[in-house]
Chain A
Amino acid sequence: MRWWLPDAGSTFAGPIDTMFTVILILTGIALVIVEVGVIAFMIRYRARPGGRAFYTHGSTRAEVIWTAIPAVTMIVLGLVSNHYWVLMKDKKSIPANATHFGVHAKQFEWQVTYAGADGKLGTDDDFTVRNQLHIPVNQPVAVELSSEDVIHSFFVPEFRVKQDAVPGMHITAWFQATKTGEFEIGCAELCGMGHYKMRARVFVHTPEEYNAWLTQQASGGAE
């Protein structure tokens, strides 16, 4: 009966979830004010025989207050948000020591390219695996997104990572996983009849497991 964001699985989840909670509190306060106001007024000011409404065209003071408070709140929210936005999406924020993976989206699969022994993408020792992204835990990871055909979107809910893969564009998204285990990738942009079936998995390994997997791939492939 879980009614919240998924369990945190990356370093981004902390700030995003905190911001989500803060916004929930702020909007919750606003919501309570409005809805309680509506219900209270409906009860308190319902028409009674002989009653007369209070004739007023408004209050400039009220207008100033209820314009200024939302405006200031929004500006502060924007400033805080932008700090994290730049951290998560700006190219310059991608850590220099991130491990890079190629993720090529296609109707209807994710082709993941690994850099191979030389650690560099785009060389002869690269190898490609369908629908499985194996990454090390607690290390920054960069996925270089591309698309074969239409727009897809790389989405891992636990990592709070989402980025469209656009044909003709080369877009890098980065994150750092904080838990080992298996997580699911879904496609978050309608891409055709198989959109719902573009499911893949992320395997977050300890460093030993990760190296073991890489070695196994180099020597002949999946079991």
Chain B
Amino acid sequence: MTSVAHAKHDAHGDAHHAPMSFWQKYIFSTDHKIIGIQFLFVSLFFLLVGGLLAMQIRWQLGFPGQPMPGGGILPETMAPGGVILPEYYIQLVTMHGTFMVFFAIMPLLVGVYANFLIPLKLGAHDMAFPRINMWSFWLALLAGLIMLSGFFMPDGAPRCGWTMYVPCSARPDLSGVTTAQKLWSISIVVLGLSSVMGSVNYITTVINHRAPGMTWFRMPLSVWALFITAILGVLALPVLQGAAIMLLFDQSIGTHFFDPGAGGQPLLWQHLFWFFGHPEVYILILPAMGMVSDIIANGSRKPIFGYHSMVFAIIGIAFLGWIVWGHHMFMSGMNPTLGSTFMVSTLLIAVPSAVKVFNWLGTMWRGQLHFHVPMLNAIGFVSMFTIGGLSGIFMAATPVDIPIHDTQFIVAHIHYVLFGGSLFALFAAITFWYPKMFGRMMNEPLGKVHFWLTLITYNMTFFPMHIIGMGGQMRRIYDPTIYDFLKPQQYLNVFISYSAFALFAVQFLFAFNFLWSLKFGKKAPLNPWNDNGLEWSLPNPAPHGNWAPATPNVYRGPYEYSSPEATDTDFLPQTRKLPTDRDPVPATLSGGH
């Protein structure tokens, strides 16, 4: 039973009353849920693009110089006779990273779930600025299309790594790419605008639009994580935009920010990029951690272990994340003393992450574990992210970084935290909130098969990369067999490639499940996961306006599972009023409207 506060008088008039056309409702929607779903479809498309690029990379690394099956459709400038050219290979590695980081993982975690979950989990009717929110989506889509167009330019896509180091990226005569490099800068500026608009919305909504009773420390960890992530975004993205504009100017209007011949500094780019880049990777993991917390508590039927520690760990990670960027530059030629300071901060940032892992274990400890698909993927996240986080310690220790920097060991680390971490969390989140988005359930047995097959093929793909990295295989090289010292481990590249092809194929199970269930999935009951969150007090799919014109009351924290206050059941929703509960006083001025 939910108790709902009376609708507050709204002087602005209610835009929800006017009937909306198809375009207003589904295309140019200002409803945060529709916007979240739009982000979902577009980002899954870019995830597919990133995956296709990865398949080509793995082909070349496993079978250097061999014609690729299907490669005949590529133009001669990329792969004559299906043989991937070196200049195309470096476009592949560059754009794989670019699409995955900026147009797949970031929008999937933030564009989708910050948009979809924040108002629902706080009891709000929508975001603070719905129209700016709509612009945030369309700008992100525009940025993605601009970036994609790079491949269709006469001299191809950018190719200096997703990290775009200068002078390579600033000098078309040295890189070979002109137009698409400028489009990269423009795309990044547009994407940054999208991110900042989104962040402004998320931050304002969390601060101002919490339902009565939703105090700061009753917010779910997913919302805490998305809130902190939004702060990171609004501060970090503009730095990248600035750097991208400086790069664009160096290429087009004759400035020399990064040109050493004219007094510029190549290292300036690295400092700017990584000052953005390190908070960016926390943007790519914190929302995942937050959602995983919600799901593990739900799956364990237990409160999250150490809720306050978890909040402080999120804040600690975000704060420390601003002062570790130089660990990407240990070999760059910057003053080694700076290396020492960055090493200290980097080693320390391992601590709050460790705290979170132990708290997830603590949540599972003595629980009643239900292994639904989201729970399986969330546990997979914990296992795989732990490996990724621990491998980071090797690099943080600067002398050990010397042999492993810019090798496949780093690539292994990146993929353990971004795939083993963020992507598993996304499989969990997509499955968990699917009924809220679409009113149907994804197929459970298929989801379980997808999880186990993914877990196996994923580890087969990425774990051996640690080994070939230790063996010295450098990043972004077109043909490892050029080097005598790498020839003995080439068989591992073959193994990794086959595993990667299998991993990619397995994802079609998820894609099929996702698309098929839209139409044919089991109709979702009201609260399919017996979850405590506010969103589950609404029908599935959630209606436009959420609880409008009413606002829910919140009586407790988000993780009251197996509470002694409600022994007839093992969950206690935040909105359920017990006889001993009193209605909260509205905490915010706008009252959630």
A-to-B contact residues, CB < 8 Å: 2-6, 12, 15-16, 19-20, 23-24, 26-27, 30-31, 34-35, 37-38, 41-42, 45-48, 51-59, 62-63, 66-67, 70-71, 74-75, 77-78, 81-82, 84-86, 88-91, 107, 149-151, 153, 155, 157-158, 160-169, 171, 183-184, 186-197, 199
Indicate whether B303 reaches chain A with its CB closer than 8 angstroms: yes
Indicate whether B523 reaches chain A with its CB closer than 8 angstroms: no
Inter-chain contact B383/A20, CB cutoff 8 Å: no
Tell me whether A56 and B303 are in contact in the complex, defined as CB-CB below 8 angstroms, given that A31-B387, A38-B379, A151-B266 are known contacts. Answer: yes
Inter-chain contact B344/A62, CB cutoff 8 Å: no
A86 to chain B, nearest CB (A): 7
Partner of A155, one of B165, B260, B351, B474: B474
Number of A-B pairs, beta carbon distance below 8 Å: 298
Partner of B306, one of A15, A20, A58: A58
Partner of B472, one of A6, A15, A37: A6
Partner of A74, one of B93, B333, B347, B364: B347
Indicate whether B562 reaches chain A with its CB closer than 8 angstroms: yes
Inter-chain contact B483/A184, CB cutoff 8 Å: yes
Nearest-CB residue, chain B, relative to A63: B309
Residues from chain A with a CB closer than 8 A to the CB of B348 are: 71, 74
Residues from chain A with a CB closer than 8 A to the CB of B406 are: 153, 155, 162, 188-189
- B482-514: which residues lie under 8 A (CB-CB) from chain A? 482-485, 488-489
Residues from chain A with a CB closer than 8 A to the CB of B85 are: 193
Assembled-state Cα–Cα distance A171/B161 (Å)? 23
Inter-chain contact B369/A30, CB cutoff 8 Å: no
Assembled-state Cα–Cα distance A51/B367 (Å)? 9
Additional A-B contact list (14), CB under 8 Å, known A42-B369, A58-B305, A192-B174: A30-B390, A34-B357, A41-B365, A46-B371, A56-B366, A57-B304, A57-B559, A66-B358, A78-B397, A88-B402, A151-B266, A160-B403, A169-B267, A190-B168
Inter-chain contact B400/A16, CB cutoff 8 Å: yes
Inter-chain contact A53/B305, CB cutoff 8 Å: no
Residues from chain B with a CB closer than 8 A to the CB of A46 are: 369, 371
Indicate whether B382 reaches chain A with its CB closer than 8 angstroms: yes
* 11 CB < 8 A contacts A-B: A4-B471, A5-B403, A26-B393, A41-B364, A81-B397, A86-B336, A88-B399, A89-B398, A164-B333, A188-B475, A195-B90
Tell me whether A84 and B399 are in contact in the complex, defined as CB-CB below 8 angstroms, given that A6-B472, A190-B475 are known contacts. Answer: yes
Tell me whether A190 and B483 are in contact in the complex, defined as CB-CB below 8 angstroms, given that A34-B386, A77-B397, A196-B86 are known contacts. Answer: no
A88 to chain B, nearest CB (A): 6
Inter-chain contact A35/B383, CB cutoff 8 Å: yes
Assembled-state Cα–Cα distance A191/B475 (Å)? 11
Interface code B76-94, partner A: CB below 8 Å = 1, 0 otherwise? 0000000001110010010
Inter-chain contact A150/B167, CB cutoff 8 Å: yes
Residues from chain A with a CB closer than 8 A to the CB of B265 are: 168
Inter-chain contact A189/B562, CB cutoff 8 Å: no
B66 to chain A, nearest CB (A): 16
Assembled-state Cα–Cα distance A165/B390 (Å)? 29
Inter-chain contact B399/A77, CB cutoff 8 Å: no
Tell me if A's interface is mostly helix, strand, loop or mixed.
mixed
Residues from chain A with a CB closer than 8 A to the CB of B562 are: 52-55
Residues from chain A with a CB closer than 8 A to the CB of B394 are: 20, 23-24, 27
Nearest-CB residue, chain A, relative to B93: A190
Residues from chain A with a CB closer than 8 A to the CB of B251 are: none
Inter-chain contact B477/A195, CB cutoff 8 Å: yes
Inter-chain contact A77/B336, CB cutoff 8 Å: no
Inter-chain contact B390/A193, CB cutoff 8 Å: no
Inter-chain contact A42/B379, CB cutoff 8 Å: yes
Indicate whether B476 reaches chain A with its CB closer than 8 angstroms: yes
B193 to chain A, nearest CB (A): 28
A30 to chain B, nearest CB (A): 6
Residues from chain B with a CB closer than 8 A to the CB of A63 are: 306, 309, 355, 359
Tell me whether A57 and B303 are in contact in the complex, defined as CB-CB below 8 angstroms, given that A42-B379, A164-B333 are known contacts. Answer: yes
Residues from chain A with a CB closer than 8 A to the CB of B390 are: 27, 30-31
Inter-chain contact B301/A53, CB cutoff 8 Å: yes
Assembled-state Cα–Cα distance A2/B472 (Å)? 12
Residues from chain A with a CB closer than 8 A to the CB of B365 are: 41, 45, 54
Interface code B546-565, partner A: CB below 8 Å = 1, 0 otherwise? 00000000000001011110
Nearest-CB residue, chain B, relative to A148: B174
Residues from chain B with a CB closer than 8 A to the CB of A151 are: 165-168, 266
Residues from chain A with a CB closer than 8 A to the CB of B174 are: 107, 149-150, 192
Indicate whether B361 reaches chain A with its CB closer than 8 angstroms: yes
Residues from chain B with a CB closer than 8 A to the CB of A15 are: 399
Indicate whether B332 reaches chain A with its CB closer than 8 angstroms: yes
Assembled-state Cα–Cα distance A206/B348 (Å)? 45
Inter-chain contact B472/A167, CB cutoff 8 Å: no
Inter-chain contact B364/A190, CB cutoff 8 Å: no
Nearest-CB residue, chain A, relative to B484: A184
A82 to chain B, nearest CB (A): 5
Residues from chain B with a CB closer than 8 A to the CB of A91 are: 336
Tell me whether A16 and B402 are in contact in the complex, defined as CB-CB below 8 angstroms, given that A5-B470, A41-B361, A186-B472 are known contacts. Answer: yes
